Structure 1
Amino acid sequence: MAVWDKLWGLLFLLAGAVGQTVIYPFTSTCAVRGSTVTLPCTFTPLKSFSDGQREVPLKIVRVLWCQNNVFCLRPAPSVWDTDSKTSDPRYQYLGDMKTNCTLQIRDVQQRDNATFRFRMEADNPKGHFTNMIGVTVRVDDGSKMRIISSSDDKKLSRGETVTLLCASVCTFHQLEVTWFKDGHALSETGPSLLLCSLNAEDSGSYTCALKTNMETVSEPYSLQVEAGNLDKLTVVRLVLFSAHMLLIVTVASIIIKRTCCLQVRSRLAEETRETASRRH
């Protein structure tokens, strides 16, 4: 008898699902403990239904996400519910009451290793619907972060640019991390660390870890910046600058020399005149 009751309940839910949908772009995802994961979701509610005589409009009055429950029916606890004011603050509903049902889970914990489902309820049971497929979240609780470099060579030349990416076995999206250089924390918190116009001060050992879980600290990534060769344009500029400075110094020397000679000749001429005037 219990089997038939469940079957009739399922048929009732499916009957009410005509014209309404809940779509999850992906039905499974992986998240590192302490990270943030977003479960994209869109829904199309039933606009109205016919009671045999007229078309009755419907309005969505409640939306919720539940965990490990096929239909999200009471008394099953929900992780987020418009009717509840005691939802876990780690769960943030980024959607609305119209078409968007996206859920975000912050500071992912091991208890989030579950299947999450979305349910909408209207002002009439005809508009109630739950997508039974749901989204399964797999929580990775023990993996270390790893650093991926945009350059295959760990020895880079002065003036070059390199990007270091802090990633997990699951993803590098939506990760808040702490970067370290030689054991000292840096100000950057995003998964990407951009190092532009490298110089000797950028050389060192880099590590990263989830901001909320320092146990995930990565293996050190050693970066060495070497004095690189000057490019052709820089060489040409230096040659032209040197030639220009040499020309200026040469011209200045000639002018100074001529000025000194004129001054000496003038002084000798004056002394000659004074000597001649004394004799007379």
Structure 2
Amino acid sequence: MAVWDKKVPWGFLLMLTGAVGQSVNYPAPVCAVTGSTVTLLCTFTPLRFVGQDGREVSTEIIRVVWCQNHQICQGSTPSVFDSSSGNNNPRYKYLGDKKGNCTLQITDVQKEDEATLRIRIEADDSRAHFTGQPGVNVTVSDGTRMEIKSSRGDGELRRGENVTLYCTALCTFHQLNVTWFRDGHALSESGPALQLGPLTAGDSGNYTCGLKVNVSSLSLPYSLQVEEEGSNSGSVDPLLIARLVFFTLHSVLIVIVASVIIKRTCLQGSSSKC
């Protein structure tokens, strides 16, 4: 009885993860913004051979299944992708293969996608079936307001320079599809990075960005001002003013010191010499 008790958890573990040598490499936990696209990079190592009649026989992967919040993903377990099914969730795209790449992409992420995702690999020999553990955790942030950051900081930019504006969020995102605006007018760019340059005065304005499918994500305005060439021609350089003031004070001081010295010399000598 004691021997049977020890074998139960070990047998269950084998059922979950497969035989020794089989493995799945999942990405770190992912946080996605509602409406964004997430790519879960994934690789797996299947059982290449099984023993049969005292010899090794190669195996072939015939089915790949991704499911949510299920330890085994076996049988009739609801799945988000099944390579043997023609009725998969259209927002879940399998970018992998049946050799070793199990990458999964989720487009237009929704709150319902928040789950622990696991993949099951099935071969032409049931002894090579296995479900990869522990899976990848996906959390979804709803109503996140985007934020614009500049590659050049918040300083004023000059004509002819280049700058990149980034549409970001506190939550990690991938392949973000955004809408950019300048002074309320939509721009043609749709990626998370807006490259501007060589800059002209026409690039000045208040920039905002947000997810195309989530209006509430629109960022606060980011003010970008481009300084035109020659715009300082009618103004006075503060540094130049400081230098002029210093030079004037220095000259006045020299005159005062010289006057004092001359006066003392006159007092010490005869009045006819002064």
- The TM-score range, normalised by the shorter chain, is 0.7 to 0.9
Shift of 1:40: 0.6
Q: Aligned AA for 2:50? A: F
| Unmatched tracts of structure 1, length 5 or more | 231-280
Q: Deviations over 1:217-247 (max 9, x none)?
A: 10100111122459xxxxxxxxxxxxxxxxx
Asked if 1:149 is matched to 2:140, the reply is no
Shift of 1:8: 6.3
Q: Deviations over 1:140-180 (max 9, x none)?
A: 11210100001123421222211100111123541111100
> CA separation in 1, counterparts of 2:169 and 2:17?
43
Rate the CA distance shift 1:15–1:42 in 2: closer, same or farther, 3 A: closer
For 1:166, what is the secondary structure of its paired residue? strand
Asked if 1:18 is matched to 2:17, the reply is no
For 1:65, what is the secondary structure of its paired residue? strand
Aligned pairs for 1:171-182 (under 5 A) are 171=172, 173-182=174-183
Shift of 1:205: 0.7
Kept after mapping to 1: 8 A contact 2:36/2:174: no
Aligned pairs for 1:76-225 (under 5 A) are 76-171=77-172, 173-225=174-226
Kept after mapping to 1: 8 A contact 2:17/2:23: no
> CA separation in 2, counterparts of 1:85 and 1:70?
23
Residue 67 of structure 1: aligned partner: 68
> CA separation in 2, counterparts of 1:214 and 1:154?
29
Q: Deviations over 1:259-278 (max 9, x none)?
A: xxxxxxxxxxxxxxxxxxxx
> CA separation in 2, counterparts of 1:206 and 1:172?
20
TM-score (norm 2): 0.77
For 1:147, what is the secondary structure of its paired residue? strand
Q: Answer with 1 or 2: which has the greater Rg.
A: 1
> CA separation in 2, counterparts of 1:15 and 1:197?
55
> CA separation in 2, counterparts of 1:38 and 1:100?
13
Rate the CA distance shift 1:59–1:95 in 2: closer, same or farther, 3 A: same
Rate the CA distance shift 1:100–1:166 in 2: closer, same or farther, 3 A: same
> CA separation in 1, counterparts of 2:197 and 2:175?
23
For 1:7, what is the secondary structure of its paired residue? helix
Q: Deviations over 1:1-30 (max 9, x none)?
A: xx9997365144268421222111x23111
Across the aligned residues of Structure 1 and Structure 2, the Cα RMSD in angstroms comes to 2.1
> CA separation in 2, counterparts of 1:213 and 1:172?
14
For 2:172, what is the secondary structure of its paired residue? coil
Rate the CA distance shift 1:14–1:81 in 2: closer, same or farther, 3 A: closer
| Number of residue pairs matched by the alignment | 227
> CA separation in 2, counterparts of 1:213 and 1:183?
17
Q: Aligned AA for 1:20? A: Q
Kept after mapping to 2: 8 A contact 1:173/1:191: no
Asked if 1:27 is matched to 2:56, the reply is no
